[in-house]
Amino acid sequence: MHTFVSIVIPMHNEAPVLSTLEARLNDVLKTLNIPVEIICVDDGSHDDTWAGLLAWQQRDPRLHLVRLSRNFGHEAAILAGLKQSKGDAIITMDADLQDPPELIPALLSEWEKGFEVVYAVREDRSVDTWLKRVTSDYFYKILNRLSTLDVPGNTAEYRLMSRRVVHILLSMPEKNSFVRMMTRWVGFSQTTIGYKREPRAAGVTKYNVWKLWNYALDAITGFSHLPLRIWSYVGIVISFSAFLYALVIIAMYFFVGRETPGYASLMVAVLFLGGIQLICLGIIGEYLGRVFMEVKGRPMYIVAETREGFAVKEEIHGP
Ligand code: UDP
Ligand code: MG
């Protein structure tokens, strides 16, 4: 089979890891006897990432470089890379070597068995903080409940996708896609393989709690309407309880003749309902804001320049 593999790596200020990444990737690719392109997407780095990539390309013509006009975020950078990819199988991975390149042969062999999506699942996450592990576990539990997609937990962006799956992903009009979920949503035969999450090779994480929170909101609003719909049911329950309570008050007035207690119960009811209404409005706002983003139809990223690897073309198309 004449196969060609693309490896897509998003990078934001990753200059310190480039040399280790190059060495580790080369060691793995040497053992694989297939043509490869390595697509590195510079997602608006402020450090020497782009210069480092240009130097790497001089040593390795399999590199295909894409520079975005500013920082558009991890997912957008991945999509920019996917858009440029030409492989029959496309592997996405982080630059920081937390996703070990040594797993690439295993990903490929699952693909050769016929799987169209192969997720690399972090079986050992001892390098991540306790808080990150727990929140991520719950996040996937909630997400899977809400979306009924059953996305494997403990996955990052390390996975292999077939050309067909990538083609479908890229043809979706959504601007706010949570790539990990979209890949699941597409369907076809999918599988997972386990690996041990390694510590970052160098540099620092680009995520903070606020970014992760918004990421989680994107995922939930993108794949579930339950947060919008649930309020009608909450409303029904509250109205029904209020009706019962009204009957109790009336009954007490006639049979016991006691004055209804006023201030405290009134205050509690007002604050409780006010709070619920604000939460509900906020949730509508989350969805509305995303609808607004989609309607504007702005692109998810803007490419500033690309430097195609000069060896790739001859390798695929032959002399
Ligand atoms: N990244 C990116 N754009 C961003 C943030 C991150 O391209 O705005 C890249 C980053 O360079 C790395 C990957 O996404 O290759 C994962 O980021 P990071 O390692 O900081 O996340 P963590 O592993 O800590 O969740
Ligand atoms: Mg990382």
Ligand 1 pocket, residue 205 CB under 6 Å: yes
Ligand 1 pocket, residue 37 CB under 6 Å: no
Q: How far is the CA of 99 from the centre of ligand 2 (A)?
A: 8
Please check whether residue 121 is in contact with residue 196, taking contact to mean a CB–CB distance below 8 angstroms: no
In the chain, beta strands by DSSP E = 5-11, 36-42, 63-68, 89-92, 117-124, 155-162, 190-196, 303-307
**The two three-digit tokens of residue 224, written as one number:** 């579930």
Q: Quick one: pLDDT at residue 315?
A: 47
Q: Take atom 14 of ligand 1 and give the residue whose Cα is closest.
A: 74
**The two three-digit tokens of residue 197, written as one number:** 């999450």
Q: Quick one: pLDDT at residue 259?
A: 67
**b or e along 232-260 (b: 16 or more beta carbons within 10 Å of the residue's beta carbon)?**
eeeeeeeeeeeeeeeeeeeeeeeeeeeee
Ligand 1 pocket, residue 75 CB under 6 Å: no
Terminal Cα-to-Cα distance of the chain (whole angstroms): 18
Ligand 1 pocket, residue 78 CB under 6 Å: no
Ligand 1 pocket, residue 74 CB under 6 Å: yes
Residue 80 reports pLDDT greater than 90: yes
The residue among 92, 90, 88 whose CA lies nearest residue 75 is 92
**Could you say which architecture CATH assigns to the domain 5-223+300-317?**
Alpha-Beta Complex (3.90)
Round to whole Å and give the CA distance between 310 and 319.
Answer: 13
Ligand 1 pocket, residue 132 CB under 6 Å: no
Ligand 1 pocket, residue 77 CB under 6 Å: yes
What secondary structure does DSSP assign to 167-178, as a single string? HHHHH---SS--
The residue among 171, 32, 209, 38 whose CA lies nearest residue 103 is 32
The bridge status of strand 155-162 relative to strand 190-196 is: unpaired
pLDDT digits (tens, 9 = 90+) for 100-144: 898 899 999 989 998 999 988 887 777 777 877 788 888 888 888
pLDDT digits (tens, 9 = 90+) for 239-287: 888 888 888 888 888 888 766 667 777 888 888 888 888 988 988 988 9
- Residue of 17, 94, 128 best suited for mutating to test ligand 1, as the one with most atoms within 8 Å of CB: 94
pTM of the full structure? 0.78
Cα angle, residue 2 at apex, residues 40 and 67 outer, rounded to 5°: 15
Contacts of 154 (CB under 8 A, 6+ apart): 121, 122, 123, 125, 136, 137, 140
- Mean residue pLDDT of the chain comes to 84
Ligand 1 pocket, residue 122 CB under 6 Å: no
Nearest atom in ligand 1 to the alpha carbon of residue 13 is 11
Q: How far is the CA of 205 from the centre of ligand 1 (A)?
A: 6
- On the CB side of 258, how many CA atoms lie within 13 Å of its CA? 8
Nearest atom in ligand 1 to the alpha carbon of residue 204 is 20
